A = this chain, B = another copy of it.
Amino acid sequence: MNIVVGVDIGGTKTKVGLVTKEGDCLKDTWFRTREYPDFDQYLDKLVEAIKILVNEYPEDLNVLGVGIGAPNASSRNGTIENASNLKWKGSVPILKKMRKRFEVPMKLMNDASVAALGEMLFGNAKGMKDFIVVTLGTGFGAGIVANGQLIDGYDGFAGELGHVDMTLGDGRLTGLGVKGGLEAYVSATGLKRTILYMMSMYMDESRFRSIAYSDLHGEDITRAAEEGDPIALKAFDYTADILAKALANFTAFSQPEAFFLLGGLIGSGKWITEPLKKYFEDYLLEVYKGKVKLMYSGMKGKTAAICGAAALIWEDHQ
């Protein structure tokens, strides 16, 4: 049976899985990325994990290739560059080093683009030629598809939409030092910052008055909204408003047919999505109104990133 190995390199875990042409993950495994601060030892571990998965599978497998998704990956250079959530510093030539260890076709791409590719091949974007996947986790990531192709940019760093300045330079700082950058508002972290902001602006009573910032988690904010906490409700409304403006801006760029929203912030459910839908239609230019869908991912939770990475190879075998 033909199979593709999908690898998702995250700051905490590295996930590996065997993915069929239909996008099913037959078997998967993982190990802790942080336990291998030496990059060569990390790759040895990764190749070992792949080999064990393939060799121990009860059927004979023909590995068509390995697809790898990673933060700050350049598909053009085959490198991971200055990833703030990974231990390896500078530019890491992962494809070159992997090819010395394992002789099958290999491809690398940044994780948000991989999510978009997975959605197109296996998820809810099947048949769509123009869409954007937005991941709202610790940060704000985006994978952009236009004309049925991923937009990767001149050397593979397209889609850094979390660092778009929404305020003419007069706003919150992102982790990369962009003043007014989107991710400082619209992300799990941004929502926490907005809780502080709302408590500074309004004197409403709130459970958050007695919780320190470092003890604050996204789920607490969702629970507080369910209990009617006015600060939580204001924070969700404010976040949805800015996300709606951002998506309306992105629409003016590539006019996608749909946005797919994923990540922890979207896990808050209606508290973010209901105001988002309302504001989004309001902010769209007339020529776009009623034409752009806000959708959820069709990828299965735990192995979504593995299947997306495998799509890098499967797209050449369609």
Tally chain A residues at the interface, Cβ within 8 Å: 50
| CB-CB nearest in chain B for A242 | B168
Whether the pair A166, B168 counts as a contact (CB closer than 8 A) is yes
Expressed in whole angstroms, the Cα–Cα distance for A285 and B249 within the complex equals 19
Instruction: Tell me whether A146 and B171 are in contact in the complex, defined as CB-CB below 8 angstroms, given that A164-B249, A287-B81 are known contacts.
Output: no
| CB-CB nearest in chain B for A149 | B147
Q: How far is the CB of A194 from chain B (nearest CB, A)?
A: 13
Q: Give residues of chain A (254-280) contacting chain B, Cβ–Cβ below 8 Å.
A: 254-257
Q: Of B72, B157, B256, which is within 8 A of A288 by CB?
A: B157
Expressed in whole angstroms, the Cα–Cα distance for A291 and B76 within the complex equals 14
List of B residues within 8 angstroms of A72 by Cβ: 287
Q: How far is the CB of A140 from chain B (nearest CB, A)?
A: 11
Whether the pair A82, B245 counts as a contact (CB closer than 8 A) is no
Q: Chain A residues in contact with chain B, CB under 8 A?
A: 72, 81-82, 129-130, 144, 146-147, 149-161, 163-169, 171, 176, 178, 180, 242, 245, 248-250, 252-257, 283, 285-288, 291-292
Expressed in whole angstroms, the Cα–Cα distance for A160 and B149 within the complex equals 20
List of B residues within 8 angstroms of A149 by Cβ: 146-147, 149
Number of identical monomers bound together in the oligomeric complex:
2
Whether the pair B154, A130 counts as a contact (CB closer than 8 A) is yes
Whether the pair A144, B285 counts as a contact (CB closer than 8 A) is no
Q: Of B154, B161, B256, which is within 8 A of A154 by CB?
A: B256
List of B residues within 8 angstroms of A82 by Cβ: 286-287
Q: Of B151, B165, B283, B287, which is within 8 A of A245 by CB?
A: B165
Expressed in whole angstroms, the Cα–Cα distance for A250 and B164 within the complex equals 8
Whether the pair B151, A287 counts as a contact (CB closer than 8 A) is no
Cβ contacts A to B, 26 pairs, < 8 Å: A72-B287, A82-B287, A146-B146, A146-B149, A146-B151, A147-B150, A147-B151, A151-B253, A151-B254, A153-B254, A154-B255, A154-B257, A154-B291, A158-B253, A159-B252, A160-B252, A161-B252, A163-B252, A163-B285, A166-B168, A167-B168, A168-B171, A176-B286, A178-B285, A253-B254, A254-B254
Whether the pair B146, A256 counts as a contact (CB closer than 8 A) is no
Whether the pair A245, B147 counts as a contact (CB closer than 8 A) is no
List of B residues within 8 angstroms of A245 by Cβ: 165, 168-169
